[in-house]
Amino acid sequence: MKALTITINPCVDKSTSVKGIVPEKKLRCNIPKYEPGGGGINVSRALKRLKVEALTLFISGGRTGKLLETLLQNENLQTMPFPVENETRENFIVVDSLNQQQFRFGFPGLSCTESEQKALLKTLESITDFPKISVISGSLPDGLNAQFIKEIIQICKHKNSKVIIDTSGESLEVAVQEGVFLIKPNIGELATLTGNNELNLQTMEAAAKELINKGAAEIVVVSLGASGATLFYKNGKIHQPAPLVKVKSTVGAGDSMVAGMVYALINNSSMKDLLRMGIACGSATTMAEGTALFDTENVFKILNELD
């Protein structure tokens, strides 16, 4: 096993479509589709499509947690569910079939108890043959102290695993204070991390290099949406424009980008190819309907067409 993903706030995505969304009217939806969700879980699902096995550690509680476990088993992922008392959350996604507008409703996750947190850390420490790459991705449940992320990072680093963080807010701030291998902020998050009110394409390089120089991360990949992404590392930077594709949904695109970069790291790719693979996977996922992830054939088609 070469990769580990950790999801503290997983979910089940329930998606459907309806012909015309109007207020105060009973809307007849199509049969719903249930899919596993949450940052690290989506990274594992995307890696599976790239023929990379990842150990998928996530918290699981109640009826929704059992459904999540079943959905992941159906995708033949190697899972490590950690049982908690509170119910795993759901998300609800609706597409208006008249105009293809997508409406996404995210429900809050419930926190773990202090004893559950300690037990989860012990479970993480107990993993034998610890993977060389650890991905901590997604939000934290409401009420969970962001310092918990620091403790997870410390265990992974102690196990000589390269830590990739894809989160936001206080969790991201705690992660860079501890120091990790790779982070993937957007330009606004990068500004916050470096104490700037705002950044532009010209000033973000100094901000990214500031984080690298003080040991917050070895690699900083700044996501620029439709403009692609720029990767910064100690010896330079690389920019990759996004390809022109027909965007159907952005759900899971960031997680797919992380999976692409993990795939490149496992295959000892160059920095340029790491970024290109991330962009290809993220872009391919935007071509998929609803909460679905990429078609692998589209990933390599985009990859071959990138400049």
Q: In the CATH scheme, what architecture does the domain 1-16+30-144 have?
A: 3-Layer(aba) Sandwich (3.40)
297: which residues sit within 8 A by CB, 6+ positions away?
A: none
Catalytic position from the list 13, 166, 255, 273: 255
Neighbours of 155 (CB within 10 A): 18
- The confidence score (pLDDT) of residue 165 equals 97
Cα Rg for the chain, rounded, in angstroms?
19
Summarised one tens digit per residue, pLDDT across range 116-171 is 999 999 999 999 999 999 999 999 998 899 999 999 999 999 999 999 999 999 99
221: which residues sit within 8 A by CB, 6+ positions away?
A: 182, 183, 184, 229, 230, 231, 232, 261, 275, 278
**Hey, where are the domains in the chain?**
1-16+30-144
Summarised one tens digit per residue, pLDDT across range 9-58 is 999 999 899 999 999 999 999 999 999 999 999 999 999 999 999 999 99
C-alpha–C-alpha distance, residues 247 and 238, integer Å? 24
Neighbours of 45 (CB within 10 A): 27
Q: What is the DSSP letter of 132?
A: S
Whether the CB-CB separation of 96 and 103 falls below 8 Å is answered with: yes
The 3-class secondary structure across 178-224, one letter per residue, is: HCEEEECCEHHHHHHHCCCCCCCCCCHHHHHHHHHHCCCEEEEEEEC
C-alpha–C-alpha distance, residues 7 and 70, integer Å? 16
255 catalytic per annotation: yes
